Chain A
Amino acid sequence: MKVAYIFATSRHTVSYVLGKMILPQLEENRHGVDVAGMFFFEDNNYVLVKGNPTGERLVQVAKAKGMLLMGCDQCCYEREIADKLFDGVPIGCFPDLYKALSGNMPDQIITL
């Protein structure tokens, strides 16, 4: 099965669920499903800013597995981080997300 994650809530979503569950499992190839992509809303976009330690690991995994990472464009502009993201990580809105996933369509989209 192939999934995509949408990180929509803030609280522990990135630091705990992504950083301590999903990401280590992906690094150890034992997540159980393929991840087609991840999309980040609100403050969750800070994980995509250059220098973020969780983001560094996430970008490595994404490159190795061909996984899409995308930040919400309005969220990034609001936080003035759109030009500070890891190289090659795009921003966009729903049309960009759907277009980017269209070549690697997930079976399920999980909103966290």
Chain B
Amino acid sequence: MTAACREACCSVTPRFTVTELFERGFRRNRAAPFALEGDAIADAEGNSARFSLALEADRIAEIRFRASSCTTLIAYSEALNELLAGFRPDMAAQFTPQDLVAALPGVHPLKQNRAVLAVAALRAALLTAATHHTARPRESGDPALDSPLARE
């Protein structure tokens, strides 16, 4: 029996770099969106992004997106997923483009405006989630009143 390779070539630790986030985000960009989907947001350069959310116990479980094939935009979008998983939506909504730029060093200065688009698309999805959450009828605690038939 041979020991597992511990060299860098076999490391399974994901790195938080633009190129690795792009690799992971490129795959997520092709995944089917979740039901809680925000409006598509576009910028003046022709890029667009649309985010969707999976919530578990009122916290973000995963963020998916459909973004233009821009390396920086996909990396920023994936970074949002990896940074904000586990956050409450209201806390995630406070995350700013400046926070995103600061969280991911190494982005070319002329491409850092992609963070604005990514965060705007995230906030659109958070708005959908908030609307959906608010629209749900409150439960009274009475099984008779809280049944689907009673709501109708």
Q: List chain A positions with a Cβ less than 8 A from chain B.
A: 73-74, 76-78, 80, 82-83, 85, 90-91, 93, 95
Interchain CB contact (< 8 A) of A85 among B46, B69, B71, B108: B108
Give the residues in chain A near B108, CB-CB below 8 Å: 73, 76, 82-83, 85, 90-91
- With A73-B108, A91-B110, A91-B111 known as contacts, the answer to whether A80 contacts B19 (CB < 8 A) is yes
User: What are 26 A-B contacts defined by CB distance under 8 Å?
Assistant: A73-B71, A73-B111, A74-B19, A74-B22, A74-B71, A77-B18, A77-B71, A77-B72, A77-B75, A78-B19, A80-B18, A82-B106, A82-B107, A82-B108, A83-B105, A83-B107, A83-B108, A83-B109, A85-B108, A90-B108, A90-B110, A91-B108, A91-B110, A91-B111, A93-B70, A95-B46
- With A73-B72, A74-B22 known as contacts, the answer to whether A80 contacts B106 (CB < 8 A) is yes
Interchain CB contact (< 8 A) of A83 among B19, B69, B70, B106: B106
| Interface residue ranges of B3-60 to A (CB < 8 Å) | 17-19, 22, 46
Give the residues in chain B near A93, CB-CB below 8 Å: 69-71
Give the residues in chain A near B109, CB-CB below 8 Å: 83
Contact B46 A77 (CB under 8 A): no
Q: Looking at chain A's contact residues, is the secondary structure mostly helix, strand, loop, or mixed? A: helix
Instruction: Tell me the minimal C-beta distance from A80 to chain B in angstroms.
Output: 6
Give the residues in chain A near B105, CB-CB below 8 Å: 83
Q: Which has the most chain A C-beta neighbours within 10 Å: B46, B70, B71, B72?
A: B71
**In whole angstroms, what is the CA distance A5 to B19 when docked?**
25
**In whole angstroms, what is the CA distance A74 to B64 when docked?**
21
**In whole angstroms, what is the CA distance A76 to B17 when docked?**
12
Instruction: Tell me the minimal C-beta distance from A59 to chain B in angstroms.
Output: 15
Contact bitstring B99-121, A, C-beta under 8 A = 1, else 0:
00000011111110000000000
Give the residues in chain A near B111, CB-CB below 8 Å: 73, 82, 91
Give the residues in chain A near B107, CB-CB below 8 Å: 82-83
Contact A77 B110 (CB under 8 A): no
| Interface residue ranges of B119-134 to A (CB < 8 Å) | none
Give the residues in chain B near A91, CB-CB below 8 Å: 108, 110-111
Give the residues in chain B near A74, CB-CB below 8 Å: 19, 22, 71
**In whole angstroms, what is the CA distance A80 to B106 when docked?**
7
